A and B are shown apart, each in its own frame.
Chain A
Amino acid sequence: MATTNLAPVPTSSTFPVKRTKSAYSRQRTRWGWLFLMPWIIGFFAFQLLPIAFTFFLSFTDYKATTEFKPGNFNFVGLQNFQRLFSDPLALPSMGVTLKFAAIGIPLGLIIPLAIAVLVNSKHLIAPSIFRTLFFLPTVIPVVAGTIIFNGVLNSQSGWINLGLKALGIEDPPRWFGDPLWAGFALNLLAIWAVGNAMIILLAGLQGVPTELYEAAIMDGANYWQRFISITVPMISPVIFYNVTLGVIFAFQYFVPALLIGGQNGNPQGSLLFFPLHFYRQAFVFSDMGYAAVLALVIFVVTMVATGLLFFFGQRLVYYAGGES
């Protein structure tokens, strides 16, 4: 400790004695490693090694009904991977997840962006109250949100269908009772938590220099032209960030589906999301070997999707401060 007290503090000027600097910086480095330790240990113990182990398990027939030790499982080669192609639920459940993603990712950008533009307008009275109230559903726990939508989308007593009937729609959808509509009903639930995306996009909008709009008005650009050729490019990094989060979110999504449709993703498997299929294999059927393969599919799909997004996104995104 005494050496710490004696160590000179670096300034921007060059150091007179080189050895003291290296001793000092070596010590700073040691401190740095020490501070990073919680994350490094956690990263190895709870992330890196488990992923490697998931990979290992995918070549075994281990069942969670027995203790994990040699003798309780066999190596089965690529059998689990072959099973993926004969699994009658693998493809449909991936379809449910992809449909959810295909609807949810664009909606999850457009609706928050529209609301952000609205609450950013100088013509809106009391914008901070609007922001707070639009954010409110985001802090509602997922399970509570699921209960709420199960009620408000009830085909008989729910207000949505009462409203649709009042608008003259004779036969409104039965939502969670109809395989065609159940997935979309969960899209609605997911988009209800608009808050984070709205606030991030709003901050992006507020960061666009007003001179750009003034110049465009001089040039006679109308509102829509200004939005497309100034706003969107200027906030493209934030859009990119939101889309990335949306992709990650969509491929992990299953909890409300489990709560409403049970382990089979009812009605008629229309809510059997791929992660729900995984959950069932692992923790209901205890079939860890095959579940490991399903987990790897989720992992690889997420990685590839975000990888592609970064590859193509980086070309489309405009960074005002130059390349970052």
Chain B
Amino acid sequence: MSTAVQAQTATAAKTRVLDKRALRNLSSTVILTGIGLLVLVIFLLPLVYTLATAFKQDAQLTAQNAPLYPAQPSTFNYEGKDYPLYEVPIDGTIKRLALIKPFREDSDMLDPEHPENGVFNVKGRWRTWTPVYTFSLTLENFTTAWEQVNFPRLFRNSLLLGIISTVGTLIACILVAYGFARFPIPGKNILFIILISTIVLPPQATIIPLYILFSKLGWTGTWLPLLVPAFFANAYDVFLLRQYFMSIPKELDEAAMLDGASPLRTLISVIIPQSIPAITAVTLFHFFFVWNDYFSPLVYLLGKEELYPISVGIGAFVTTFTNYPGRAAATAALTLLLPAVIFFLAQRQFMQGVVVTGVEK
């Protein structure tokens, strides 16, 4: 009996300790998640601003006392005309009244709930009253931007550039990474260090001679200067693929070679099927890179508007649209839509790829 009681008290004490700990855990969870949410809200504020602004009419941005969400002033139709609604303080209560005729110190108002009472005069400055807004999305900014910026053409160009360039990068980088990962090449380590150190190379150091070269070849004003270099591999993607290839057991390729497969055959039937996550990451990175790239298309396509990718195409509208925040926001929203959707669909592969390039040096 006594042992049972002892056990019981022990359990009770334990639960109390557990309760205390659970409580502490709970409070740190609440505090930390709260801080996290606060930081996240600040972080995503520019995006929320962009979406809200894109769906607003520009007039709302400069209007006094307008809400932050997209909305339009509520109106009341009286005798065939629309009059704005205001929240008017009368005798300590706030009434919604339609402003029929504004004066300086008083105004002619109408009660929308009792229009039969007719127009009456209210003392007070109408400019100090809060207008009544109702939530309303306008698509005007999107349609205007869509046509003015010529989005269909920009999308088509960027997609084509992105796909061709990504195919080239994949072919070249897979071959080079395979060479570095599997073959006995004299001075391989030094070559690999040279490859990695090209990450440091600023594009400015090479662009003038390349511009002269591509002009001589008659390639400026075409996509060739943007596409051809992609077929010659780059350090980031080779590095990522090589790290991944090295993690594939050598026994797999050796078995394939025993069956008489050539190195190229081994690459296609053993290495590539094993490396789909890394290849997906490279595909994503490179496609995003092309979608994002501004400097090279700006230099090589100067003046050839029909060939502009989305980055250069909307670049000109940054300042043009400064006085049209709604259109600017709609343009930004349309530009980031595709990358954002792809990112949400493939976020795991994407972030995994970043980790491989960054941590496993």
Contacts and interface: CB of A to CB of B under 8 A. Distances in A.
Interface residues of A, number: 104
Interface string B276-295: 00000000000010011011
A139 B288 contact: yes
B32 interface: yes
Interface string A41-74: 1110111011101100100000010011000000
Interface string A244-286: 0000100110010001101000000000000100110011000
Interface stretch (A80-88, A98-106, A127-135, A214-222): A127-135
Contacts of A68: 212, 215-216
B10 interface: no
B318 A38 contact: no
B183 A152 contact: no
A231 interface: no
A15 interface: no
A130 B40 contact: yes
Q: Is the interface of A mostly helix, strand, loop or mixed?
A: helix
Query: What class of interface size applies to chain B in its complex with A?
Result: 35 or more
Interface string B315-327: 1011101100100
Nearest to A130: B36
Interface of A: 1, 4-5, 9, 25, 28-29, 31-39, 41-43, 45-47, 49-51, 53-54, 57, 64, 67-68, 115, 118-119, 121, 123-125, 130-137, 139-152, 154, 156-160, 162, 192, 194-196, 199-200, 203-204, 207, 237-238, 241-242, 248, 251-252, 255, 259-260, 262, 275, 278-279, 282-283, 288, 291-292, 294-296, 298-299, 302-303, 306, 324
Interface of B: 25, 28-29, 31-33, 35-36, 39-40, 43-47, 49-50, 53, 61-62, 68, 171-172, 175-176, 178-180, 182-186, 188, 191, 194-195, 198-213, 215-216, 229, 231-233, 238, 254, 257-258, 260, 262-263, 288, 291-292, 294-295, 299, 302, 310-311, 314-315, 317-319, 321-322, 325, 328-329, 331-333, 335-336, 339-340, 342-344, 347, 350-351, 354-355, 358-359, 361
16 contacts: A29-B185, A31-B179, A32-B179, A36-B180, A39-B232, A42-B233, A46-B232, A54-B208, A54-B209, A115-B39, A118-B32, A131-B351, A133-B40, A146-B318, A248-B200, A298-B204
